[in-house]
Amino acid sequence: MHRRIAAFAIAAALAGCAAEPPAPELVIGLRNPTVAFGGTSRFSAERFAGAWETVACLGSCVKSERYVQATEGVYLRRTGDVETPFLISAPGVLREMGGDDRLVVMWVDEGFRTAAIGDADGRWAAILNRNRKPARDRIKAATEILDFNGWDVSKLRVVK
């Protein structure tokens, strides 16, 4: 009798496990969302301001962009004819004013010539440079930073 009850209890427990919905599948697109990342402490609004060329990117990127310091703590990001205001919420973290976009400057070299930047949602990332002829060592460093921050650098493409 006890064996029947024990067998029934085990069968009921197994049936209960099978009835639970499966855990949601983790979809990894351009960036692994389980990897934490943040802005570089080296970020300086004054030094980051100016024109940048996109030399490599993931996702949908623009060929060039410009950052203009509008006021203390407010940046304007210009891409083509579009100008978007951002608040500097932390070193290297720019939050769109009146929107949901968040740009993260993950790395910039000491001379502010090359940078690794991406959006917090993992839709795009880019290696920016002040001109179209970046130094290989800085591109390598920016690529390593993107990889370290969870980006799929195998999908990184050169922008000409």
Domains, the chain, ordered by start: 45-158 (2.40.128.20)
Give me the pLDDT at residue 14, please.
47
Which residues are bridge partners to 128 per DSSP?
54, 115
Work out whether strand 157-158 and strand 64-71 pair parallel, antiparallel, or are unpaired: unpaired
Give me the pLDDT at residue 23, please.
52
Q: Residue 123 in contact with residue 30, Cβ under 8 Å?
A: yes
Q: How do the pLDDT tens digits run along the chain, 160 residues long?
A: 555 554 454 555 445 444 555 555 545 679 999 999 899 999 999 999 999 999 999 999 999 999 999 988 899 999 999 999 999 999 999 999 999 999 999 999 999 999 999 999 999 999 999 999 999 999 999 999 999 999 999 999 999 8
Query: Global pTM?
Result: 0.81
